[in-house]
Amino acid sequence: MKKILVLCTGNSCRSQIAEGYLKYFAGNTAQVYSAGIETHGVNPKAVRVMAEDGIDISGHTSNHVDEYAGIHFDYVITVCDNANESCPVFPGGAQKFHHNFPDPARATGTGQEILDEFRSVRDMIKKYSESFIKQIQNG
C-alpha cells in the first residue's frame, strides 16, 4: 500500500483538506497523512466546508512533520511554497510533488466572503487530489 504525506505550513487548512480528499479518492489503496512545518490546529472553517462536500475531517489533528520521521513515504505533496522550501528529506526516496494553493486562512472580508474563499480552495484541492490519485493508480 502506498503512503502519501501532505505537507503545508501549519497543518490547519490546505493539508487537512487534501488529506480528506486523498483518503476519499484513494479508498483502501493508500495510507494518507498530513503534517505541517508548524502546527496551528485544524481550522474550523476547513472542517465546515469539507462537511458541506460530505467529507468529515472533524477528527483530524494538526501534526508536526517530525512526528512522521520514521515512516517511509512513497509520495510527499507540498501544498504551499513555504512547506516546499522547508520540506525535510525523507528516507526511502519519496517522490515529491508541489502545488501552491492559496491559503484560505488569510482570506479577508465578510464571513461569507471568507467562507467562499475556503470553498474555492477546497474545490481546487479536490480537483488536484482526484487527479493525483488517478495518476498514481494508473502508473
Catalytic residue among 8, 26, 35, 37: 8
Catalytic residue among 4, 13, 18, 80: 80
Is 77 in contact with 99 (CB distance < 8 Å)?
Answer: yes
Catalytic residue among 7, 37, 87, 94: 87
DSSP 30: E
Rounded to 5 degrees, what are φ and ψ at 35? -155, 170
Decide if 87 is catalytic: yes
CA angle, 37 as apex, 69 and 68 as ends, to 5°?
20
Decide if 13 is catalytic: no
Task: Show which residues are catalytic.
Answer: 8, 80, 87
